[in-house]
Structure 1
């Protein structure tokens, strides 16, 4: 009997689709890969040394407690308390196998099939995929003129079936940051309707300020509404170690732990050890990487200021640039395919992050130094000529 897999209600992985284009390249020319967002430098020396020591330890490959390595939870609680100028307890923290898993666990703990979750556009594609895969209806929140979502617009979308509002800030793919005042307004909407405000804060360290990303944790009753998701992948240059975290109420975390126990038992120990070493021993290294990324964003904006080839930057922040192509009437998938095959430049189409084609695409600035960004602008100039 032949296996007949269930047809999953999702799109194919945009990352896999993008890299599949490379199978059609035959020219052998150097590729400018601006698709997947990942640091192109190794972790801090302190992290590497600690990971090596753990690998040699007979206990280094053992399970850890389902909520996470206790000393990592304590260190991250201290990190949150410092970064947000608030009080935070380790009991509010669950360590996960990356921020993607954090979102999946939280969404599944909050919503049943047939429920609704409000997603700000452009969404992070895995959020949309997971909801649809599980029969949860994504309700799309259109951005304002500055590409930032507003609480007022979200308020109009809440129904009796709404279970959460999801924001990514700084955004993936746009890099747009939702300011503290607007986040407070989102929290007020969520509280008014007794739903969750889920903030994916993967790129919080890569904002243009060291001020707190928001003041929501200062509210003694924050856990009634706020769920904050974090990643150590970009901050500590350990994407393959798969380690992230949920900051939420203890009742929600108890439900999350039931799911985590089933799907992974616990997040990988080696990733948790690496995150602990980075949080406790690599603060200056982290600050230096943040400065480097800010310099890349400035370089990107400078090289694109003249709109080479008619390509226009709509926003830039975190690890990303969000662009509009000049080819009215052409599908973005076709434009992205041509950039890859004719101009050896790999980017992600905006259709991976939107329910329709708006002529946009994402560039990962983490993959390019100054010379690569200059090269990118030159290739766009030729492509649009």
Structure 2
């Protein structure tokens, strides 16, 4: 079976969640005997046409020159190329800038789309952008033969709004074992003597609520903010908290071993995401034995259930920072339960098999 994956900036991953999904999925499918093509931006750091058995097709991507408009051009170029590839199945990861070109997708191929999260709910977008994203979402449904939801919340939403069923396949993670304090030394950190968050610095990820809670706690422990802060919102946050020396903006870190070690040795890991389905960084925190304090919403509760503490406001954050210590025996069951979930529900091998079974089923239909 010949499968193309579109909708990402490419592999190996140098960007984010969908790219990491494409990387694991492509490698896993090749090992299982599939022929796999992944589309890469022309300026992706990896410039070869093959990677560990995965075919790589580079398409022109002017996002660095044109911003968001460039994403639409890149997706158009990918779809124009995939029309020539005679694929059995095309997997779209997301719909935001590709769905407007959905009418160009090849009719002979089966189109299955991972619908991502509720992009139009993101607070950073103006009303006109939110309306477009809702329209793009409807096109993603219209031009797909099958849909994939990475959370039960998204699955229920699609059924309620569009009256369409979708296959639930979560995101994946790998249980982390290679803990090494050397990763902490470059940041002058001691095990369990700091708290942290990893996220895109955007309002809907509760960054300001969490950092207001840090200020309110009046602790001396360092608080790490990991994510690209060279944005307008990032600059706003750095200015607002410039007088708090314990808050350290570390920018984006993309070395998974360093990230896993920072998570592993943190006292509390904060997950403030409010929009979307199964968030990759949440699963990775679970896999890294992190004690998680999450925003109290249905997406996070579905994954974590009773194996986390939850915050609604900055006062909650302050109280947890003042009173919760990773070593407390009462939290060890939470940590063990979360690692069991990764091992038996969210391990990448399980997720790849679920995608494989989905492809076989829709192909046979």
TM-score tier after normalising by the smaller chain length: 0.3 to 0.5
TM-score normalised by the chain length of structure 2: 0.32
Q: TM-score, normalised by structure 1?
A: 0.31
